Structure 1
Amino acid sequence: MVCFCFLVDQRRKIKGSKPAAGMCSRCGRGAKVADMKTSTRFCLIPVYCRSRRAIVCTFCGSVLKSYR
């Protein structure tokens, strides 16, 4: 028996943010502290949601550091 399960998407949504001291190590722009919600869906069915606080670049959007 073969079972296939495909990852359809993983979405990040920023609920709120405020400026943070420091700069992005990738692009050199400013950073912000954001409350993020990550949702993972398998085969169009929501499976996992996680809320966390992270330091995010304001220009390129990369997550610099994540807190639980």
Structure 2
Amino acid sequence: MCLVFVCDQDERVTGRYAAPGACPYCGGAVQVVDVESQWRFCFVPLYNKSKRRHLCSTCGKRLIVQG
């Protein structure tokens, strides 16, 4: 028996911007990264979503913004 996964998720970075503030872990600069993700089933796109993530440029930690 052979299982073939026909679902796929593709993430692509569409932009990077500097954000005000500093990382609470290491004190590095914070970046805002716009990410576009797409779910596909048998090469047919099913779902598109854009996300905005905040990352530290020094340690690479993903930061959670309260507010």
Q: Normalization by structure 2: what TM-score?
A: 0.55
1:54 aligns with 2:53: yes
Equivalent residues, number = 61
> Which is richer in strand?
1
Partner of 1:8: 7
Deviations 1:2-58 (A, max 9, x none): xxxx443101111111134445x7xx7865211111100011110000012112455
Partner of 1:44: 43
Unpaired runs of 5+ residues, structure 2, are none
Q: 1:44 to 1:33 in 2, by over 3 A?
A: same
Q: 1:17 to 1:42 in 2, by over 3 A?
A: same
**Residue identity opposite 2:7 in structure 1:** V
Separation in 2, partners of 1:16, 1:38: 13
Which entry has the higher C-alpha Rg, 1 or 2? 2
Unpaired runs of 5+ residues, structure 1, are 1-5
Aligned identity (percent) is: 31
